[in-house]
């Protein structure tokens, strides 16, 4: 009986390993986040943005957007956002990838960045790959142009079609959206009390 239970346990562990084998996670920031992966749109909720995607290894076409909030003074803010743009990523290793960008230090720089957004992809091994941003969805049915320039030289990889396995998104709360929503729900007295509480901190 003990041998059978042990054998069942080993079988379950093996199946779990197969289920998770060959998977990658692509992490985004709340300011630069995905709208679409290949043919699949990424759904964001009212209070949260999807900042993690579980994807199969291979090539994926991502539609991204930049959206950031800058504080102008104590009670005034400005939202800066870009038009959606496309990048092509090659996921050749298992593990965690990170989509990186240099966050602008001021509103004026953010407006410039929104007109010409840029990003890079950090691989699980720590290598940084600069991604070419495209205004329109690329057509990969033809031979594709070079869409990524690696910051550290590596051997070239064969061209593969985009991976159509569905992406699994993981969302995280967006504090600004939650604050904005509840601020609109509050009456004048509640808003005044809230502002007084902030001033007292």
97 is a domain residue: yes
Per-residue pLDDT reduced to its tens digit, 63-121 = 999 999 998 887 788 999 999 999 999 999 899 999 999 999 999 999 999 999 999 99
72 is a domain residue: yes
121 is a domain residue: yes
The count of structural domains within the chain is 1
4 is a domain residue: no
H-run or E-run covering 3 = helix 2-20
Tell me if 78 sits within 8 A of 111, measured CB to CB: no
Given this model, what pLDDT does residue 141 score? 56
Does the pTM exceed 0.85?
no
Tell me if 122 sits within 8 A of 98, measured CB to CB: yes
Residue 130: pLDDT over 80: yes
Tell me if 85 sits within 8 A of 135, measured CB to CB: yes
Given this model, what pLDDT does residue 7 score? 43
198 is a domain residue: no
45 is a domain residue: yes
Per-residue pLDDT reduced to its tens digit, 26-71 = 999 989 999 999 999 998 877 778 899 999 999 999 999 999 999 8
Domain with 51 in it: 23-184
Alpha-carbon distances, residue 180 vs 15, 162, 175, 198 (angstroms): 45, 38, 9, 15
42 is a domain residue: yes
Residue 56's CB is within 10 A of a number of other CB atoms, namely: 14
Residue 162: pLDDT over 60: no
41 is a domain residue: yes
Per-residue pLDDT reduced to its tens digit, 137-161 = 887 654 343 333 333 333 333 334 4
């Amino acid at each position: 009986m003990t041998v059978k239970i042990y054998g069942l346990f080993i079988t379950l562990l093996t199946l779990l390993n197969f289920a998770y084998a060959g998977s990658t996670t692509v992490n985004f920031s709340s300011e630069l986040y995905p709208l679409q992966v290949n043919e699949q749109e990424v759904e964001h909720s009212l209070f949260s943005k999807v900042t993690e995607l579980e994807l199969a290894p291979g090539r994926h076409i991502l539609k991204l957007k930049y959206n950031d909030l800058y504080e102008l003074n104590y009670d005034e803010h400005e939202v800066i956002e870009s038009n959606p743009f496309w990048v092509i990523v090659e996921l050749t290793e298992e593990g965690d990838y990170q989509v990186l960008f240099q966050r602008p230090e001021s509103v004026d720089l953010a407006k410039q960045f929104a007109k010409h957004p840029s990003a890079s992809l950090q691989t699980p091994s720590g290598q940084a790959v600069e991604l070419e941003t495209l205004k329109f969805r690329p057509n990969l049915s033809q031979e594709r142009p070079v869409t990524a320039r690696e910051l550290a030289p590596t051997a070239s990889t064969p061209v593969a079609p985009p991976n159509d396995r569905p992406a699994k998104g993981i969302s995280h709360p967006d504090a600004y959206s939650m604050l904005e929503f509840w601020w609109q729900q509050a009456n004048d007295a509640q808003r005044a009390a809230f502002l007084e509480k902030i001033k007292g901190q």
